Structure 1
Amino acid sequence: MIISSIVGGLGSSSLVAHTVLNRDLDRYKKIFREDPAIKRETDYLKEKLPQFESLDALADDYRAWQAVTSAFGLDDQAYAKALLKKVVKEGVTDKGAMANRMVDTRYKDMAKFFNYDVLGMVGLQSEKKIADLVDRYETQMFEKAIGESNENLRLAMYFERKIKSVTSMYEVLGDKAMYQVALKMAGLPKEYAQVDIDKQADYFKQKLPLKDLKNPEKLDKLLQSFLARADAENSTAASSPVVQLMQPAVNTGFGPIVTIDPTLFLKM
């Protein structure tokens, strides 16, 4: 897609790419929305959603179901129809509903949006609701396209978008993508995930207070810190002698020959 090509052309620095994209984000999103592949799917959603009389009918339409689940970042779970339908049907009103008991906040987000336990399919078929769903789909696919060239940039943009609606640090800890960003913001290793969840929540509340994460200027600095650390890690990994030795062989036409820098052994 054109967006992944643009990001790829910005070089390997996530920090630079983040700055460039944010400088003219609305224009880049507009370019993405008009991409023929994306427009075909959004047009299909607008046409078909008002026609579904039941959740089963929606789930049985592969194309529409794939787009709807993608709108909540659950495209990797689209195959689990029985689970997702149960999540949607139970909604979030009852504290014991499945969505409220799941750690992954994507399920609750989907159930809350549908509001199926209260309104049924009618709640998904108004013009406003369909427009909101299409917007969610375009946003998710935009970030996914960015991730094709720079996964750390995708994580930063996702965190920046999601933190606006977060009300508890447990929501950050329960969101796999947000948690990755928070760890690097705090300068913590991934092994920190083994620590008791309540202790983690207390630590992050002090280290990354929600009021700071919701302050645009402070959040921007924290995201810069995340991207700088991510770039440094990638740079270190790429320059590792072991990684260089394991680079793919070069095809010369006479068989695979591994190219090795002679000074590499001195470094090792």
Structure 2
Amino acid sequence: MSDLFSALLLGLIEGVTEFLPISSTGHLLIAQHWLGARSDLFNIVIQAGAILAITLVFRQRLWSLATNLRDPDNRDYLFKIATAFAVTALVGLPVRLAGWELPETVTPVATALILGGIWMLIAERVAARRPESARITWTVAILVGLAQVVAGVFPGTSRSAAAIFMAMLAGTGHRAAATEFVFLVGIPTMFAASGYALLEHVLESGTGGEAWGELGAAFVAASVTGFVVVRWLLGYIKRHSYAPFAIYRIVLGAALLLLLPAGG
């Protein structure tokens, strides 16, 4: 397999999995076991492609939030996005500074995929019994911020899954409203995380030795694929639950544990 094709494939995987509740980090770790490990810079840049995609999807919503600051409901929503981001930053940054790193084995990722799938099925059932509400409360905002930290510490958890289902359990029973809030919170969160990781990488290792053509192709692949997937997902959740994604996680995690040697 050529290096360009494997780079494109990794970009496609990032674009497909970043915003689906199936864990992009977990899928990239698994894929790179077969396609070959890539640099931290590569992983940062293709994630930036996914961030660009979701920013374009929500461009009208973002513009409306930014230009209607006199509307109290608008301000309230923005403050809650800022609160969720602040919680993630204040709790997550010390974890990062403490030297936490992603595991290099698939086993913990597979375990997190299974446990996350079970959690999603339980959360769907619990949330379905509660009155449906599209309101984002301060409790929801704080718990979404904490959920993003948990997802960052345990690869395979999925940032979107952890945060969306936390929002649904904390009071936002409306699946579409919870998903939109989590995605909007994810824009500053992921920009900040990617920017910090990029600065850290450049200061420590520089940018030499990178295959920029392959990196550019992977960035475009992640952006285009991410845009299509997010647009599809926003329509899908209006009529369907997240249960199929939970089942996929459980099946994939079990297959990895069965097919790979311990710690493989």
Query: Is the shorter-chain TM-score for this pair beyond 0.5, marking a shared fold?
Result: no
Larger radius of gyration: 1
TM-score, normalised on structure 1?
0.27
TM-score, normalised on structure 2?
0.27
Query: Whose RCO is larger (CA < 8 A, sep 6+)?
Result: 2
